[in-house]
């Protein structure tokens, strides 16, 4: 053993001795050259490493950075069962969490729920809450909170816009972290209803029902969503003018990456667009194509997404007997160049349509047809002297009504011009939105109505086209009746997404053929923001607030890492 140790000692001490002997024989200039050479070699190796690293390394999001957005209108109900305005819904999306949450691609993902189960007959849904799910004040989210929120939404005294989603749905507590929903009939879009934000029962239960809409919790809310309120700035009149939000570290999906979000509140869109132009805010949402033309700010990006809204001229044959003729409706439809409308009014940020089935479900093929043929089939002759289409000496007279918003006025004027130039007498009437809804739509007091239907992600067309929905509060504003379509719509409600798409293709063909309305366009959702903000690609937006659906993934800062670490990130 001693000999081995000596041998090892001689082996390891040999090289240093040689190096020392060589060093003694070298001149100073030679030593400097060798040192420089070594420095060069090390530097070259390091440079090669950096070059290789920069080639193969990938950028991954990291925490940090701030984001500021403007919204128009002061939020009054930052409350999932009362939010009615765009500003209400925007804030609610940021602050509250539901059992499920929508994603940027239009699909759903569990949020407060760990998992869920659906019975074979499609009538029972069981949700298991995440054990560590808590509200912003640290209190746990339980089945009691879910039941309290659903029952509050169902309470007719609250007048919640969510009430219809929960009609006929029973909710039961299995244990503190498990809740069951029982439906009277299978309804596959029900899962969408569970995206409704959950209220903390411990904060709301002692508030009188009549006082709920006026409670301060509506503007200083506590939820379980991705962001919580850090500070609220108020105007001199005590109205919120700015919400400063911070990431909720215990958000059940994952801690948000942005360190701070500021929501600035504006009284009008012009002031908001001016501030965007001057870089006071980073993004503006829901703007029209004409407003988009006004933006000259550099380093911005335009995001457009499918907006499942259907705009059409809906006919009421009860108020204008001529419109009961299918061939006349086809003639009116053929006179409108929908592709030109989309280009001229919406600058291409819309899709021309031929039915109420959304374009992400079925492709819409625009066919050019001769209106003359349909007029003649309907028994009309063109009077060269009057320049009108007439039947029994009487011209076609139509009163077209719509809301007095800028875009709808432009579309109404476009349609009216197309019909007038072809020989139709058209009278235009514009109403304030509330007046249109209360005095025209609900009473069905119109001949032709230019209006939009918010179909949403689930694309449940039952309320819009089933014959049982012709009277208020139903939304069948074309007063459409077709027994086969009724059966198809009933069938679709119990089908999965793939099956429903096939059923809707049949609905598309039937309604396209009968033309109960002149279907015009489906607009794109337009979102303009600073290029430094990165977010998942928006594909489907049912309401403007859906842009925040995956806000927890938004980021401004990145780190470079080896691919191995990126895969686990």
Strand partners, 560: 59
pLDDT in tens, the chain (569 residues): 454 445 445 544 445 556 566 666 667 776 677 777 777 777 777 677 667 656 766 678 899 999 999 999 999 999 999 998 999 999 999 999 999 999 999 899 999 999 999 999 999 999 999 999 999 999 999 999 999 999 999 999 999 999 989 999 999 999 999 999 999 999 999 999 999 999 999 999 999 999 999 999 999 999 999 999 999 999 999 999 999 999 999 999 999 999 999 999 999 999 999 999 999 999 999 889 989 988 999 999 999 999 999 999 999 999 999 999 999 999 999 999 999 999 999 999 999 999 999 998 999 999 999 999 999 999 999 999 999 999 999 999 999 999 999 999 999 999 999 999 999 999 999 999 889 999 999 999 999 999 999 888 888 999 999 999 999 888 999 999 999 999 999 999 999 889 999 999 999 999 999 999 999 999 999 999 999 999 999 998 989 999 999 999 999 998 866 665 555 45
Same domain? 453 vs 470: yes
All residues at 6 or more sequence positions from 57 whose CB lies less than 8 Å from its CB, including other chains: 560, 561, 562, 563
Same domain? 536 vs 514: no
* CA separation for the pair 54, 295 (Å, rounded): 36
Are 113 and 123 in contact by the 8 Å Cβ rule? The answer is no
* CA separation for the pair 48, 28 (Å, rounded): 30
DSSP 49: H
Same domain? 348 vs 243: no
Q: Any idea which residue has 């879009």 for tokens?
A: 189
| Six token digits for residue 285 | 């949402």
Among 56, 76, 102, identify where a domain stops. Answer: 56
Three-state SS for 189?
coil
Are 225 and 248 in contact by the 8 Å Cβ rule? The answer is yes
Are 336 and 344 in contact by the 8 Å Cβ rule? The answer is no
Structural domain range at position 94: 66-282+532-567
Same domain? 27 vs 112: no
Are 410 and 400 in contact by the 8 Å Cβ rule? The answer is no
pTM: 0.84
Strands 517-530 and 300-306: antiparallel
Same domain? 491 vs 540: no
Same domain? 374 vs 490: yes
- Is position 304 within any domain? no
| Six token digits for residue 268 | 């009008």
CATH code of the domain containing 432: 3.10.105.10
| Six token digits for residue 128 | 């298991």
Q: Which of 75, 10, 447, 64 is nearest to 241 (CA)?
A: 75
* CA separation for the pair 146, 168 (Å, rounded): 16
Same domain? 24 vs 156: no
């Amino acid at each position: 053993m001693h000999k081995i140790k000596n041998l090892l000692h001689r082996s390891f001490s040999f090289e240093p001795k040689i190096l020392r002997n060589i060093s003694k024989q070298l001149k100073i200039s030679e030593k400097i050259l060798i040192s420089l050479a070594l420095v060069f070699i090390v530097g070259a190796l390091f440079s090669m490493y950096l070059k290789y690293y920069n080639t193969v390394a990938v950028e991954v999001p990291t925490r940090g950075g701030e984001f500021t957005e403007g919204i128009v209108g002061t939020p009054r109900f930052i409350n999932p069962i009362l939010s009615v305005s765009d500003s209400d819904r925007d804030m609610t999306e940021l602050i509250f969490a539901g059992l499920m949450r929508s994603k940027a691609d239009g699909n759903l993902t569990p949020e407060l729920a760990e998992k869920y189960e659906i019975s074979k007959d499609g009538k029972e849904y069981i949700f298991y809450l995440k054990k560590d799910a808590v509200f912003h004040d640290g209190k746990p989210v339980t089945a009691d909170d879910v039941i309290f929120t659903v029952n509050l939404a169902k309470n007719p005294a609250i007048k919640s816009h969510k009430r219809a989603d929960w009609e006929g749905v029973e909710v039961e507590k299995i244990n503190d972290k498990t809740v069951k929903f029982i439906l009277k009939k299978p309804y596959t879009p029900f899962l969408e209803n569970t995206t409704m934000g959950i209220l903390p029962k411990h904060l709301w239960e002692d508030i009188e029902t009549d006082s709920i809409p006026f409670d301060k919790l509506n503007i200083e809310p506590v939820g379980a969503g991705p962001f919580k309120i850090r500070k609220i700035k108020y105007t001199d009149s005590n109205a919120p003018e700015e919400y400063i939000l911070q990431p909720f570290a215990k958000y059940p999906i994952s801690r948000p990456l942005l360190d701070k979000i500021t929501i600035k509140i504006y009284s009008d869109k012009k002031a908001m667009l001016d501030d965007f132009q001057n870089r006071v805010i980073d993004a503006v949402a829901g703007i029209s194509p004409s407003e988009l033309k006004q933006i000259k700010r550099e380093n911005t990006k335009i995001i457009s997404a499918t907006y499942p809204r259907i705009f059409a001229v809906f006919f009421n044959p009860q108020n204008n007997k001529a419109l009961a003729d299918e061939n006349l409706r086809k003639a009116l439809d053929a006179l409108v160049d929908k592709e030109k409308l989309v280009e001229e009014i919406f600058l291409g940020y819309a899709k021309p349509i031929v039915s109420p089935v959304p374009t992400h479900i079925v492709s819409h093929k625009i066919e050019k047809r001769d209106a003359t043929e349909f007029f003649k089939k309907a028994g009309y002759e063109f009077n060269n002297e009057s320049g009108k289409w007439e039947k029994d000496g009487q011209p076609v007279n139509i009163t077209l009504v719509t809301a007095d918003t800028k875009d709808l006025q432009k579309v109404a004027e476009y349609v009216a011009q197309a019909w007038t130039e072809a020989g139709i007498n058209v009278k235009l009437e514009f109403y304030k939105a509330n007046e249109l809804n209360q005095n025209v739509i609900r009473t069905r007091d119109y001949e032709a109505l230019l209006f939009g239907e918010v179909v949403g992600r689930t694309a449940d067309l039952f309320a819009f086209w089933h014959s049982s929905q012709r009277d208020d509060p139903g939304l069948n504003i074309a007063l459409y009746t077709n027994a086969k379509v009724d059966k198809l719509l009933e069938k679709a409600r119990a089908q999965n997404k793939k099956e429903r798409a096939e059923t809707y293709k049949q609905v598309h063909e039937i309604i396209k053929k009968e033309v109960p309305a002149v279907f015009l366009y489906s607009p794109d959702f337009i979102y303009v923001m600073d290029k430094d903000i990165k977010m998942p690609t928006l594909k489907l937006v049912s309401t403007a607030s859906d842009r925040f659906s995956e806000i927890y993934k938004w980021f401004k800062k990145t780190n470079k890492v080896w691919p191995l670490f990126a895969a686990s990130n």
